[in-house]
């Protein structure tokens, strides 16, 4: 019963959120929630964080590393979510359902914005389904287009996100932040460490100069056109307390869940089954996949890396065919030898003494 009431509340809130962006024709149950939203959205004070925009699933706000920003400095923004218990928002590959948040900056001077994704975690859902994302809290750091600088003033944005618990609710909410201008940018004591901490959780590229390596190999896993990818990481001085591997979504491939293996000589080895999404099409001759490896640490500090693979697949069907043709050739050769030997022995037999 309580679940039903909860569901009804979520539904009405979701309707409100949609309607607040569309127009003033609100059904009665929405009026109070919408009024709250409106109060929250009006006239934010200058600060390093915007007002929280709340829903039953999450509250979300725009934050900056600066409490005042100098002309010419990038405003260093992040989108911060505080999620209600049991709710999650998504990584760039959301898993079996859902989608990641999208941010649209509406302050002309800043150009386009892209969210960066801290290392996520996996959520096992009923029915063998999985979600990849974040629970409790997350800050998605914002990457602005190159050369994008601010000079204080109002920053407005719209965030379009899906939050899921037992149920999923899409939201589209307007965020605002007013950054005071100053001669020198001033790090905010509350938001700067938080944004920096989440920025540090965004996977980085492997440092080849420091001996950090990834070795990736594709193998044909029995049945064509299925492939098995083996990805091994070697990183000096790192530990693997909770290793996890994630892949970006691929239109061409279905990527199953990676399996972790501890192997001598590598920090972590993962094996993952991969197959073409549409086997009726010729198998792609290359596997291009973005990966993120998380759950590592060095001297207690969490570590995560990302990179992209570009491996030749030698087309599963072609490899399968070549295996068969090798077999056929071997049988043919064996028959040839048998025939040759038997003819020679017959020839020997007819030689008169």
Partner 1 sequence: MSMSPQLRCLAALALAFLGCAGPGLAELTVGQVAPDFRLRDLAGEAFALAELRGRPVVLEWINPNCPFSRRHSRQKTMQSTAAAHPDAVWLGISSTRPGHGDHLAPAEFKAFLAEHGISYPVLEDASGEVGRAYGAKTTPHMFVIDAEGVLAYAGAIDDDPRGRAVTVNYVASALDALAAGGRPEPGSNRPYGCTVKY
Residues that bind partner 1 (CB under 8 A): 3-4, 6-7, 11, 14, 96-99, 102, 124-131, 160, 164, 166-170, 221, 249, 251, 254, 256-257, 259, 271, 273, 275, 277-281
Residue 68, CA distances (Å) to 8, 52, 148, 333 in order: 42, 19, 17, 81
Dihedral sign, Cα of residue 182, residue 184, residue 190, residue 194: positive
Q: 96 or 207, CB closer to partner 1?
A: 96
Q: 65 or 275, CB closer to partner 1?
A: 275
Task: Kindly state the smallest distance separating residue 88's Cβ from partner 1, in Å.
Answer: 12
Longest alpha-carbon distance in the chain: 117
Sheet of 286-298: strand order equals 244-247, 286-298, 301-312
Task: Kindly state the smallest distance separating residue 256's Cβ from partner 1, in Å.
Answer: 5
Task: Kindly state the smallest distance separating residue 143's Cβ from partner 1, in Å.
Answer: 20
Distance between CA atoms of residues 96 and 83, nearest Å: 20
Strands 153-164 and 168-179, bridge-based pairing: antiparallel
Task: Kindly state the smallest distance separating residue 157's Cβ from partner 1, in Å.
Answer: 16
Task: Kindly state the smallest distance separating residue 343's Cβ from partner 1, in Å.
Answer: 37
Q: 242 or 254, CB closer to partner 1?
A: 254
Tokens of 124: 């096992």
Distance between CA atoms of residues 227 and 225, nearest Å: 6
269 burial type by CB count under 10 A (0-12 exposed, 13-18 middle, 19+ buried): buried
Q: 149 or 168, CB closer to partner 1?
A: 168
Q: 288 or 344, CB closer to partner 1?
A: 288
Task: Kindly state the smallest distance separating residue 90's Cβ from partner 1, in Å.
Answer: 11
Q: 199 or 257, CB closer to partner 1?
A: 257
Task: Kindly state the smallest distance separating residue 292's Cβ from partner 1, in Å.
Answer: 18
**DSSP label of 286:** E
> Would you give the distance in Å from CA 62 to the centre of its chain?
21
Q: 96 or 114, CB closer to partner 1?
A: 96
Distance between CA atoms of residues 347 and 3, nearest Å: 90
């Amino acid at each position: 019963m309580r679940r039903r009431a909860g569901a009804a509340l979520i539904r009405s809130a979701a309707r409100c959120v949609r309607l607040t962006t569309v127009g003033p024709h609100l059904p009665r149950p929405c009026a109070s929630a919408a009024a709250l939203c409106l109060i929250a959205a009006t006239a934010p004070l200058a600060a390093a964080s915007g007002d929280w925009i709340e829903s039953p699933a999450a509250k979300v706000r725009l934050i900056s590393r600066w409490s005042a920003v100098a002309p010419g400095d990038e405003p260093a923004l992040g989108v911060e979510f505080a999620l209600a218990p049991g709710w999650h928002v998504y990584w760039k590959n959301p898993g079996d359902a859902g989608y990641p948040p999208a941010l649209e900056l509406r302050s002309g001077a800043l150009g386009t914005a892209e969210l960066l994704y801290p290392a996520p975690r996996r959520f096992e859902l009923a029915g063998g389904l999985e979600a990849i994302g974040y629970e409790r809290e997350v800050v998605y750091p914002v990457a602005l287009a190159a050369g994008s600088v601010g000079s204080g003033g109002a920053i407005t944005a719209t965030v379009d996100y899906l939050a899921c618990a037992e149920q999923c609710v899409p939201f589209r909410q307007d965020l605002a932040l007013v950054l005071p201008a100053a001669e020198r940018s001033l790090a905010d004591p509350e938001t700067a460490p938080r944004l920096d901490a989440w920025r540090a959780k965004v996977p980085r590229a492997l440092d080849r100069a420091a001996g950090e390596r990834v070795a990736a190999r594709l193998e044909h896993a029995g049945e064509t056109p299925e492939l098995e990818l083996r990805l091994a990481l070697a990183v000096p001085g790192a530990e693997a307390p909770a290793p996890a591997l994630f892949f970006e979504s691929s239109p061409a491939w279905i990527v199953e869940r990676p399996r972790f293996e501890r192997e001598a000589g590598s920090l972590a080895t993962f094996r993952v089954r991969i197959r073409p999404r549409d086997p009726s099409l010729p198998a792609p001759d290359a596997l291009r996949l973005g990966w993120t490896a998380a759950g590592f640490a060095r001297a207690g500090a969490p570590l995560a890396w990302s990179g992209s693979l570009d491996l030749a697949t030698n087309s599963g069907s072609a490899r399968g065919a070549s295996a068969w043709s090798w077999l056929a050739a071997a049988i043919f050769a064996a028959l040839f030898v048998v025939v040759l030997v038997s003819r020679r022995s017959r020839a020997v037999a007819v030689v008169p003494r």
